Structure 1
Amino acid sequence: MNIIFMGTPDFAVDSLNSINKSSHNLCCVVTIPDKKVGRGQKIRKSAVKNHCISNGIKFLQPLHLNDKDFIDELKSFNADIFIVVAFKILPENIWTIPKKGTINIHASILPNLRGAAPINWAIIYGLKKTGLTSFFINNGIDTGDIIIQEEIDINENDTYEIIYQKLKKLSSTFILESIKAIEGGLKPKIQSKIKSEFLKAPKLDKENTRIKWNDTGNNIKNLIKGLSPYPGAWSIIKSNGIRVKIIDSEFIPKLINTNTNGSLLPNKKDCMIQVKNGVINVLKIKIEGKKEQSGRDFVNGYQGKEILFI
């Protein structure tokens, strides 16, 4: 098949590499323009662009997806399919170009976890399984007809980073199986349209990544795992306004104290914080502007002080 690949971050690289090494014809790759970042305004290239440069793959970096010259160039390749992995939302005049349609690889078992952050939310919700879905792009967000799906287990101590890496590795074979299914004339499956049947995976923001200490220990632990190591579940020390991110923790149920939820238990070697139905023992914590440290080292730095996280 003649294929145009569209992607940006590291997550897309394994899929791209797999297609490039296959018998299919990779016409070109589309990725985002370079960005200036930081105080020094250094140029940052996407992970996909770096891979293209290293492997001699032709790539395009349109400033605007609706640019006429860009669209004309896409059409000139006469591609059978476009494959999208972690890229922008495509306008209809682009995803309708290829003969066999445009497919997207989404990091969940659709229709569950439609949205921008499916890996994070699978863990935050405490799900036992997640996976990959390939589907044909349509006018909705992650609502197109399903080609194939593949599940993986989420183990008790799996963090966002662990599941990210598992799915990234899986994508290299999954993408080829998806192409094979299309070549074989597989009839895609229509997604359920009953919204109450599935969980959402909205974009992460300051509000939904903040720890609510009045919540249950399991919910808080899942939030921490689902945001570890990035962007990090966060809280604020009330007395000084310092922001902290909790990177790793364990929940100890039934260890109930009369302290306010969010308070650091006094006279403890470990960093134990009161929650609704027990305590969260903080194993790794990062104070804003400082390096990550153990919960015990954090407690030693605040010895004798009353600490309330809000």
Structure 2
Amino acid sequence: MGTPEFAVPSLKILVENGINVVGVVTATDKYGGRGGKQLIESDVKKYALSAGLKILQPSNLKAKSFIDGLKALDADLQIVVAFRMLPVVVWDMPKHGTYNLHGSLLPKYRGAAPIHWAVVNGETETGVTSFKLKHEIDTGDVLFQEKISIGREETTGEVYNRLKELGAEVVLKTVRAIIEDNIQLLPQDASLISKAPKLHREVCEINWEDEMEVIRNFVRGMNPFPGAWFSFSGTVMKVYKTENIKTVHNAPVGTINSDNKNFLHIAAVDGWVSLIDIQLQGKKRMDVKSFLNGIDVRTFISDSLPH
């Protein structure tokens, strides 16, 4: 069970290693593309079709038609990677239960955006966890965990790409252990719990009253999606990379400073944040020098941005 690109390597590794995948559950097709008139299939569905797998796409996970279809698959085990919260009737169906792959070292970063928040919070390591599902989300007993380090300059997108491959290896290891009846489940340590809530638009706004390093981590944590942003001249400016300029200044927090040619700096509490990789709403993503070639920011230099 899964929908986005993150889940594809996990499904693929099972198929390529001879695991009998009796069916795939993924999201319904969504309208998108130009004009929103094209039906878009999930990444998992695209791979499942290429592999000739049976596909279920329920809009309602409690619907009798879906439950009957799932029972008909007669699966011994269900694996969930980046899917929706499941009702008990679904996750409790197989005789070996349902196992989930989560993009963190549980119980750290329980929730919808574990990779984002690990990077935002300046973590130096993260990883993936396979655990047996129970009713409360992300709380089940742990089977396997694997760690990776997070580089100081790494973005969420870069960590995501490494974790989806590591996660696939853990999924295969999990399935093989269950087949061999060689599992030892361990309860999560409640003292280590932290949250990774869903990213809403307002959560992604840059707070210039933070220290520069906090802002830098926030920006790379929101890169490439959904993108950290601030209000620039009445529109949205997304920021994908910054550098810190540690210096004492008397400028109000949020003040814009630029030579209108090479740099665009914004005052934080402990120095200047240099914008490196940006995207003005309605424009292409570009480096700051290219941006300054097409706009006169001198009229905004003395402005203070909303905090």
Cα distance in 1 for partners of 2:74, 2:202 equals: 45
Deviation at 1:78, TM superposition (A): 2.2
Q: Report if the CA contact (8 A) 1:259-1:265 is conserved.
A: no
The letter of the residue matching 2:229 is W
Query: CA shift at 1:303, angstroms?
Result: 4.1
Other-structure match for 1:285? 278
Deviations 1:12-39 (A, max 9, x none): 0000001111222100101111111253
In 2: Cα distance, 1:84 partner to 1:124 partner: 25
CA distance in 2 between counterparts of 1:296 and 1:211 reads 21
Residue 133 of structure 2 aligns with which residue? 137
Cα offset for 1:192? 2.2
- More deviation, 275-284/62-71: 62-71
> Which of 162, 184, 189 in structure 1 is aligned with 2:181?
184
- 1:250 paired residue number: 243
Question: What TM-score comes out, normalization by structure 1 length?
Answer: 0.93
Amino acid at match of 1:260: P
Q: Residue 299 and residue 198 in structure 1: after superposition, are their counterparts in 2 closer, same or farther (change >3 A)?
A: farther
Count of residues in Structure 1 that have an aligned counterpart in Structure 2: 300
Structure 2: distance between partners of 1:203 and 1:306 = 33
On the 8 A contact 1:147/1:181 being kept in 2, the answer is no
Asked if the contact 2:258/2:264 (under 8 Å) is kept, the reply is: no
2:202: which partner in 1? 207
2:153 aligned with 1:157: yes
Q: 1:29 aligns with which of 6, 24, 32?
A: 24
**Alignment partner, residue 3 of structure 1:** none
CA deviations on 1:90-140 (whole Å, 9 max, x unpaired) are 000110000111000000000000000001000000000000000011111
1:266 deviates by: 4.3
Note the C-alpha offset of 1:231.
Answer: 0.6
Shift of 1:74: 1.4
Distance (whole Å) between structure 1 residues aligned to residue 25 and residue 108 of structure 2? 28
In structure 2, give the amino acid aligned to 1:232. G
Aligned to 2:296: 302
| 1:123 counterpart letter in structure 2 | V
SS in 1 for 2:204: coil
Partner of 2:220: 225
Q: Which is further off, 279-288 or 176-185? A: 176-185
Q: Which residue of 2 aligns with 1:65?
A: 61
Q: Distance in 2 between matches of 1:37 and 1:24?
A: 33
TM-score, normalized by length of structure 2?
A: 0.94
Matched, 1:170 2:163: no
Query: Partners of 1:9 and 1:149 in 2: how far apart?
Result: 21
Verify: 1:114 aligned to 2:107, yes or no.
no
Are residues 1:274 and 2:267 paired?
A: yes
* Structure 2 residues without counterparts, runs of 5 or longer: none
Q: Residue 298 of structure 1 aligns to which amino acid in structure 2? A: F
TM superposition shift of 1:70 = 1.7
Does 170-179 or 114-123 show the bigger shift? 170-179
Equivalent of residue 11 in structure 1, options 6, 25, 46: 6
Which of 85, 89, 100 in structure 2 is aligned with 1:89?
Answer: 85
Contact 2:264/2:274 (<8 A) preserved: yes
Q: Give the percent of matched residue pairs that are identical in Structure 1 and Structure 2.
A: 39
